[in-house]
Amino acid sequence: REGIKADLKESKNEGEFQVRELTCDEETAAKIIEAAEKCPVNVIEVIDIKTKESMVNTKLEETKDYREIEAGYDEDKELVLDKKGYFLIRIVPEKKMIEAGFCNSKNKIEVKVSGKKPIDIYQTVLREKIIDRADHAAYLARELQKAYTALHLGIPYVQDDELNLKKQ
């Protein structure tokens, strides 16, 4: 099930890994294998103890013809404003909240989405179809994460500015 995390109980540390050996029936083994295959960060390896065969592998492989792209962005050339509108983002330290106000005309908030975590806010924005553009969603996620960091570090947040992480 999505959103549920497993805790590897009764495991032992072997170097940098946690290991758990167990004997189980086929149904339980199938559930363990399914969970390992669905692991979004690819960190659960399942090995058959008898044969030493890897049933779920964590090794990263590159395809023969994979592409490697050096990232870059030129805001002056590539920025496209969202026709639907824009966000004004702020933190509310006394409530430990982040607010994202969506404006479809100059500084007139049409929708305000508030939350404690960036994912709650941007997933709500997407679910409510407040914006359509993928680059706008990426921008929103980046700014919300900066706001969250500023809120938890007790430093000022200014939208579109880099955070000042130097000790003051």
- For 37-48, how does the pLDDT look when each residue is reduced to its tens digit (9 = 90+)? 888 777 788 888
Predicted confidence at residue 8, as pLDDT, reads: 66
pLDDT at 7 over 70: no
- Which of residues 144 and 52 earns the better pLDDT score? 144
Question: pLDDT band at 50, cuts 50/70/90?
Answer: confident
Residue 60: partners with Cβ closer than 8 Å, 6 or more residues away: 42
Q: Span 83-102, mean pLDDT? A: 97
Q: Which residues pair with 56 in a beta bridge?
A: 46
pTM: 0.70
Q: Where are the domains of the chain?
A: 12-56, 80-153
The tokens for 119 are 């994912």
pLDDT at 97 over 70: yes
Sign (positive or negative) of CA dihedral 59, 63, 64, 65: negative
The tokens for 123 are 């997933």
CA distances from 146 to 86, 87, 104, 125, 158 (A): 17, 14, 23, 17, 9
The tokens for 168 are 């003051």
